[in-house]
Amino acid sequence: MTCHNCNTRCKKFGKHRNGLQRFRCNQCRKTFTEDHATPLGSMYTPLEKAAKAIELLVEGCSVSTVERFTGLHHTTILSLLVLIGEKCERLLESRIRNLPVHDVQCDEIWGYVGYKEKRNITAGPLRGDAYCFVAIERNTKLVLTWHLGRRTARDTMALTEKLEGATAGNFQLTTDGFQPYFDAIHTCLGTRVDYSQLIKTYAATTDEEHRYSPPQVVDITIKPMWGQPDPYRICTSHVERQNLTMRMQIRRLTRLTNAFSKKWANLKAAPGLYFAWYDYCHFHRTLRCTPAMAAEITDHIWSVGELVEAIV
């Protein structure tokens, strides 16, 4: 340590209350402390406690539950969620690039910010319904990319553009019957994919059904769009099962609770954190490893602490 005033070497002068080394100049007698390491930006939360909070969040705990277990303030937890979520999103975008894949499925899962779309009258674009588009590789269960937005052609195009950069070579792609998929996939992926749609027809609701009863599927139509898709691989079951896992692991997507997001940034950070945890840390029972290991991106199961250290 060099004195900023005298430009001379300082001697060690005890420890700071947070454990950092202190120094004192022999000429001007001023004291200094070594630079604080701030891997979490402006936050001074220890990495161990931050990793514990993140581990609870990805296991489906609410912010209030995390606050009781860790002793962190709820505002600190939300700031940590947004910070780590953004870093996890960049981690996936940088590591999953030009990946050879064989069978990809796409789907979207519904959520909302503040209140549902029918009550979104004057609040603006960052309130109301929000759809998380997900693309998953069938064999490795790896989440290739995702996008949070509205259920519109523009956001469908955004997902397809991300999928184009995450994959390499030719592969088979299956989606549901959402119409904007056709133009988006045709524009971004073109003849790289053997594209097909699996369209489900639901029965009309009756008076005997409850308000939240799941609709009954009465017919399934397989519709090849272009290329030569294998009929036995035209399926969206794996990505729909991923939607169930998301609702169980992401508290903000749990139905019929008061845990929904009040801010768009918080909802966007939650899937970014979850998908990084799912790809690198989650031991998949069918694969007997993590999806990232099955895709040969990494050679071991990451801990949550290792994930936090990798992104900070």
Contact 77, 53 (CB under 8 A): yes
Give the model confidence (pLDDT) of 134-150 as tens digits: 999 999 999 999 999 99
pTM of the model: 0.85
Contact 252, 116 (CB under 8 A): no
Give the model confidence (pLDDT) of 200-254 as tens digits: 888 877 666 566 677 788 888 999 999 999 999 999 999 999 999 999 999 999 9
Within the chain, where are the H helices?
47-58, 63-70, 74-95, 153-166, 180-188, 237-249, 264-280, 291-294, 304-311
| Distance, CA of 185 to CA of 24 (rounded, Å) | 64
Q: Which fold has domain 47-204+215-311?
A: Nucleotidyltransferase; domain 5 (3.30.420)
Give the model confidence (pLDDT) of 9-65 as tens digits: 888 888 877 677 888 888 888 888 877 666 676 777 888 889 999 999 999 999 999
